[in-house]
Structure 1
Amino acid sequence: MKSATLPPLRVTPDLRAAAESVLEDGESLSSFVETSVRKQIEFRRVQKEFIARGLASREEAKRTGVYFTAEQSLARLDAILQKHKPGSV
């Protein structure tokens, strides 16, 4: 596949300096920006899926009339965490 470019980005000198100040050894500003864009794309995809699951859950609760309290939900999450902790059975 042929590569493409992202639009040029104008930033303040302070923002550029801040970005350059956190570059790792051998890392270019371009690779930093590319990595940042990739991570933001993944974050937004996951966030969109999370919201969709929440809305579907809300509709299911409305349809069935079955609701759970925050305490019940947290207790179930705690049980899942305990199950997956090292050393637990």
Structure 2
Amino acid sequence: MKTATLPPIRVEPKFREEMESVLVAGETLSSFIEGAARREAHYRKVHGEFLARGRASLANARETGKTIPAQTAIAELDKIIDAKFGTGSARKRESN
């Protein structure tokens, strides 16, 4: 598969120096920018999907009139967090 080139971007010299100053050993500015673009594209995709699920859930709640009290939802999320990170983790995080 052939590769493609991203459009060049113009930045102030100071900003370029800042980006170059945070590169790790063996990393190029091009790979840094590509990684940042990939992460942002992934974030936007996941964020869009999250919003779509939220809108669908809201539409369903409006249509059916069935909702879950906030405290119930939070308690369920706490259970998920506790199952993943250990008993009481959610409450410990909250108190910090």
Which string of whole-angstrom CA distances, capped at 9 and with x for unpartnered residues, describes residues 5-38 of structure 1? 0111000112101101110001000000011111
Other-structure match for 1:21: 21
Which runs of no fewer than 5 residues in structure 2 stay unpaired?
Answer: 88-96
Q: Within 5 Å, which residues of 2 pair with 1:16-55?
A: 16-55=16-55
How does the TM-score come out when normalised to structure 1? 0.89
Q: 3-state DSSP class of the match of 1:41?
A: helix
> Where does structure 1 differ by over 6 angstroms across 4 or more consecutive aligned residues?
none
Which string of whole-angstrom CA distances, capped at 9 and with x for unpartnered residues, describes residues 39-79 of structure 1? 11100000000000000100111111011232221111001
The amino acid across from 1:71 in the alignment is Q
1:79 aligns with 2:87: no
The structure-2 alpha-carbon separation of the partners of 1:86 and 1:75, relative to structure 1 and needing over 3 Å to count, comes to closer
Q: 3-state DSSP class of the match of 2:48?
A: helix
How does the TM-score come out when normalised to structure 2? 0.83
Question: What is the CA distance between 1:86 and its match in structure 2?
Answer: 4.5
The CA distance in 2 between the partners of 1:39 and 1:33, in whole Å, is 10
What count of residue pairs does the alignment treat as equivalent?
87
Which runs of no fewer than 5 residues in structure 1 stay unpaired?
Answer: none
